[in-house]
Amino acid sequence: MKILAVVSFILILVFFPLLIVFSRNSDFNYYWFLIIGLIITIIAFIYLLIYFIIVIPKKKKKKIEAEEKRTKEDRIEKISEKIKTINEMPFKDWLEQNDFKQYCEIFEQNKIENLNTGLKLTDTDLLNVGISVLGDRIKILSLLEEKRAALKRGTELLNRLIRGEEKRINKHIYTWVGSFLFGYFGVDRFMRGQTGYGISKLLLDWFGIWAIIDFIIALSMYGKYKEEFIFINGDWE
């Protein structure tokens, strides 16, 4: 395809100089050259149009789609691995990391071997296995709740990625055009796919307070992303 495009371009460039040269030669059959040359040139020009307007954008689109697919698959794999690591983490290791090494033997005796099982524990369960210190029970339950929340966020993110709910927006356009220039009209929210929030912002944000807050948040996120902001179901990834 590239070779044909180059040949077509050369034919167009060569035809007109040759036309001038041969038109000065009275012995040369000028009109036949003109007709044949024009036909070839028109065909070459049409091919170049097709190549630059259809072929190149199509190839570029396929390349972008392939890169996005690869990026998405990598992210799904990383999140899945992180979820798996949390679930399969030995409960003994988790206890040691959080300075509860003294309780390792108690949990092992009660068949609580990994974090996935430990996440189901309640205050009554901790009391039943022999942890009588109220402060330790509260701290363990608080730390387990943090892990549960992280696991929930990871699972939701994974499901949304699989369902294709991820939205990528050029961070420069989003920050300076969508948020800074037109944030008062809710454009940044519309860009994220949050139509309801966009309409509410347009109708209710009379003093621009919401717009300022969204702009500050966009600026705070600016350095955390390379070229694009990533939103899952309208929310920051």
CATH number of the structural domain spanning residue 134: 1.10.150.50
- Smallest Cα–Cα separation from 217: which of 173, 178, 177, 179? 179
Structurally, the chain folds into a number of domains equal to 3
pLDDT tens-digit readout, 58-93: 888 888 778 878 887 888 888 889 888 888 889 899
Among candidate residues 68, 97, 116, the one where a domain is terminated: 68
Q: What average pLDDT score do residues 224-231 get?
A: 87
Query: Does residue 30 sit within a domain?
Result: yes
Q: What average pLDDT score do residues 38-57 get?
A: 75
For 191, other C-beta atoms within 10 Å of its C-beta total: 21
Residues 102 and 156 in one domain: yes
Phi, psi of 236, deg, nearest 5: -60, 135
For the chain, how far is it from start to end, CA to CA, in angstroms?
40
Please, what sign has the CA dihedral across residues 139, 145, 151, 157? Answer: negative
Tell me: pLDDT of 146 over 60.
yes
Token digits for 203?
Answer: 């109708």
Q: Which residue has better confidence, 121 or 46?
A: 121
pLDDT tens-digit readout, 197-219: 999 999 999 999 999 999 999 99
Range of the domain at 8: 2-68
Query: Does residue 48 sit within a domain?
Result: yes
Token digits for 79?
Answer: 């999140």
Token digits for 11?
Answer: 């034919």
DSSP codes of every residue in 116-134: HHHTT--HHHHHHHT---H
Please answer whether residues 117 and 87 qualify as being in contact, where contact means their C-beta atoms are separated by less than 8 angstroms: no
> Quick one: three-class SS letters along 42-82?
HHHHHHHHHHHHHHHHHHHHHHHHHHHHHHHHHHHHHHHHH
Query: Does residue 205 sit within a domain?
Result: yes
Residues 39 and 99 in one domain: no
Among candidate residues 110, 137, 162, the one where a domain is terminated: 162
Token digits for 154?
Answer: 């990871």
Residue the block writes with tokens 């929310």: 235
pLDDT at 181: 94
Residues 42 and 12 in one domain: yes
Token digits for 43?
Answer: 């065909």
